[in-house]
């Protein structure tokens, strides 16, 4: 569930760890594992900014961005067949 949410959130652009944590409601340990998994799969890349304060940013790779049409099709289908919020994670 969280992998899909993280990928969808990153379609809007690069985000910091805490931004993703807030938008997905995942705890830090789970989100860290999900981001590591998505990185190993080639969907997400990490960028560390060393300036004080140190910040870690996550963004989609080309492979991750290639999922945008898939998400769009699912949202279009859901708009036709599901009630509002029915596809949202529980």
pTM of the model: 0.85
Q: Is residue 52 part of a domain?
A: yes
Residue 9 has pLDDT above 80, yes or no: yes
Residue 57 belongs to some domain of the structure: yes
E strand segments, the chain = 15-16, 44-49, 55-60
pLDDT of amino acid 1:
82
Is 42 a domain residue? yes
pLDDT tens track for 54-80: 899 999 999 999 999 999 998 899 889
Write out the residue range of the structural domain in which residue 44 sits.
2-81
Q: Is residue 88 part of a domain?
A: no
What pLDDT is recorded for position 41?
A: 98
Q: Is the pLDDT of residue 31 over 70?
A: yes
- Domain annotation covers residue 33: yes
Please indicate, yes or no, if residue 8 is contained in any of the structural domains. yes
Determine the Cα angle at 48 with ends 54 and 52, to 5°.
Answer: 20
CATH at 42: 1.10.10.10
pLDDT digits (tens, 9 = 90+) for 79-88: 899 887 666 6
Tally of domains in the chain: 1
């Amino acid at each position: 569930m969280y992998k899909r949410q993280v990928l969808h959130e990153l379609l809007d652009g690069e985000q910091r760890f805490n931004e993703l944590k807030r938008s997905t409601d995942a705890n830090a340990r789970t989100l860290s594992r999900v981001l590591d998994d998505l990185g190993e799969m080639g969907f997400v890349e990490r960028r560390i900014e060393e300036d004080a304060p140190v910040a870690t940013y996550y963004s989609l790779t080309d492979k991750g961005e290639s999922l945008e049409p898939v998400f769009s099709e699912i949202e279009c289908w859901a708009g036709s067949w599901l009630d509002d919020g029915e596809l949202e994670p529980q």
